[in-house]
């Protein structure tokens, strides 16, 4: 497992070098769209094809979605309620989501094997709701003084999310007991194998820690809140849930990670928030998450 993490680190480093020498910002954005809209959906279809679902798996999306709602309420009503409206919205929108699609899939597969991906995929169903629904709604609500909560913005984001729609299709097929046609399953399998290395390259392409005086306190508040909340929920569940150890390891790894979805940068641009601060936070959170995943998987062995 440690060798796999070392190999993953080398691929991330290659991505970082490529951003400095070979790939510009437009190329990096194109690669992100390729992963989100092609290889990640293919991985989801490949993971769920022929999988037998049991009741315990429903706990994963329920926990991820509930976590997103709780974190949004905690940020808006408790932690940041005395902040100016726009700062309150920016910091709160960064609490509910996860960067599972780009970040966790290749590392979980390397550490726990392909069988763990069905657990992660179920967790990511709830993550999609938190990321494209809750975070988007929060960003829209606090974008201007006196704005009303517009759930249609969140609904449009969900309905246009290729990964989220793919999750629903894959779950429907699995619940119905249907298999993909052989040629579709083979094509999905080929694309799924490309997701891991491409996702790791993307992490390297976006790894750049800017010097932004005065912004590190905001980064520390968001990352620290995510770590404390994830540990407070994830550790008891890891110790007490009477389920498969791999299930518990994936759940703990998911809840404990402060990594943010790249879509947060798009929300910042769309609603007029500080996109540079969001980018800095994403990079810090990704580094912390990477180290925590290594620690969690070593402890869970």
Q: Which of 54-68, 79-93, 134-148 has the lowest mean pLDDT?
A: 134-148
Q: How far apart are CA 81 and CA 74, in angstroms?
A: 9
- What is the average pLDDT across 177-194? 89
Q: What is the pLDDT of residue 67?
A: 92
Q: How far apart are CA 128 and CA 130, in angstroms?
A: 5
Q: What is the pLDDT of residues 279-292, one digit of tens each?
A: 788 878 878 888 88
Q: How far apart are CA 165 and CA 158, in angstroms?
A: 8
Tell me: pLDDT of 212 over 70: no
- What is the average pLDDT across 143-151? 63
Which pairs from 142-151 meet CB under 8 Å and 24+ separation? 142/76, 142/85, 142/86, 142/88, 142/89, 142/90, 142/92, 142/93, 143/86, 143/89, 143/271, 143/272, 143/273, 144/85, 145/85
Of the candidates 102, 62, 30, 133, which has an alpha carbon nearest to the alpha carbon of residue 289?
102
The DSSP string of 78-134 is IISTTS-HHHHHHHHHTSS---IIIIIHHHHHHHH-GGGHHHHHHHHHHHHIIIIII
Per-residue pLDDT band at 149 (split at 50, 70, 90): low
Q: What is the pLDDT of residues 61-88, one digit of tens each?
A: 999 999 999 999 999 889 998 888 888 9
Q: Is 140 within 8 Å of 154 (Cβ atoms)? A: yes
Per-residue pLDDT band at 92 (split at 50, 70, 90): very high
Per-residue pLDDT band at 224 (split at 50, 70, 90): very high
Q: What is the pLDDT of residue 102?
A: 60
Tell me: pLDDT of 144 over 80: no
The DSSP string of 60-79 is HHHHHHHHHHHHHHHIIIII
Q: Is 204 within 8 Å of 16 (Cβ atoms)? A: yes
| Residue 227 burial class via C-beta count within 10 angstroms: exposed 0-12, middle 13-18, buried 19 and up | middle
Q: What is the pLDDT of residue 145?
A: 61
Q: How far apart are CA 297 and CA 68, in angstroms?
A: 24
Q: What is the pLDDT of residues 24-35, one digit of tens each?
A: 878 887 888 888
**Residue % of the chain over a pLDDT of 90:** 13
Tell me: pLDDT of 3 over 80: no
Q: What is the pLDDT of residue 187?
A: 93
């Amino acid at each position: 497992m440690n060798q796999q993490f070392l190999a993953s680190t080398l691929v991330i480093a290659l991505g970082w070098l490529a951003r400095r020498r070979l790939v510009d910002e437009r190329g990096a954005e194109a690669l992100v769209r390729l992963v989100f809209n092609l290889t990640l959906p293919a991985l989801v279809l490949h993971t769920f094809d022929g999988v037998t679902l049991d009741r315990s798996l429903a706990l994963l999306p329920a926990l991820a979605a509930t976590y997103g709602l709780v974190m949004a309420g905690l940020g808006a009503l408790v932690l940041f309620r005395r902040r100016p409206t726009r700062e309150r919205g920016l910091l709160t929108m960064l609490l509910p989501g996860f960067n599972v699609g780009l970040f966790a899939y290749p590392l979980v597969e390397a550490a726990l094997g392909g069988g763990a991906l069905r657990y992660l995929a179920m967790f990511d169903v709830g993550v999609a709701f938190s990321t494209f629904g809750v975070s988007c709604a929060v960003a829209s609500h606090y974008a201007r003084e006196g704005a009303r909560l517009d759930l249609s913005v969140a609904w449009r984001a969900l309905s246009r999310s290729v990964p989220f729609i793919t999750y629903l299709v894959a779950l429907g097929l699995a619940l119905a007991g249907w298999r993909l046609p052989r040629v579709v399953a083979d094509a999905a399998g080929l694309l799924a194998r490309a997701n891991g290395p491409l996702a790791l390259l993307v992490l390297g392409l976006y790894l750049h820690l800017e010097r932004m005086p005065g912004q590190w306190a905001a980064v520390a508040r968001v990352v620290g809140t995510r770590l404390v909340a994830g540990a407070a929920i994830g550790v008891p569940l890891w110790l007490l849930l009477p389920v498969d150890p791999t299930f518990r390891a994936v759940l703990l790894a998911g809840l404990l990670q402060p990594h943010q979805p790249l879509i947060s940068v798009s929300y910042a641009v769309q609603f007029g928030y500080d996109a540079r601060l969001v980018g800095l936070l994403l990079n810090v959170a990704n580094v912390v998450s990477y180290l925590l995943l290594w620690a969690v998987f070593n402890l869970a062995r």
